[in-house]
Amino acid sequence: MLTSRQRSILSSLASKECVVQTMGKYGPTEAFAAKLDELLSHHELVKVKFLDYKDEKKEIAEKLAASTGAELVRIIGNNAIFYRQNPDPEHRRIQLDA
């Protein structure tokens, strides 16, 4: 569980240096969830931009977070920010203090 301070740090990082994946007309398919899982493994912080399904973005984002084992950091506008810490300490790109 992320603290509000950690969420603030991650949101700040997401605005500057974050991989962006767009969700279009096909929606939250298994392939999309697999791609998000892969991006989280490599980058830890991923922003998903909703081009469609904007009315359902909160529910979709929560399901994607649960299916990938990630934390939903924040939803800002039509963007959802996801974070999952790399299990290997040597490959972590983002250091969050407790």
Structure tokens at 51: 């081009």
* DSSP E strand stretches across the chain: 19-23, 45-50, 71-76, 79-83
Which one of 3.40.50.300, 3.30.110.60, 1.10.730.10, 3.30.479.30 gives the CATH number of domain 4-91? 3.30.110.60
More confident residue, 86 or 72: 72
Domain spans, the chain: 4-91
- Which H helix or E strand runs over 37? helix 30-43
Distance of CA 91 to the CA centre of its chain: 18
pLDDT, tens digit (0-9, with 9 covering 90-100), for 28-83: 999 999 999 999 999 999 999 999 999 999 999 999 999 999 999 999 999 999 99
CB 79 within 8 A of CB 42: no
pLDDT at 36: 95
* Statement: the pTM of the whole predicted model exceeds 0.95: no
pLDDT at 98: 55
Structure tokens at 41: 């493994």
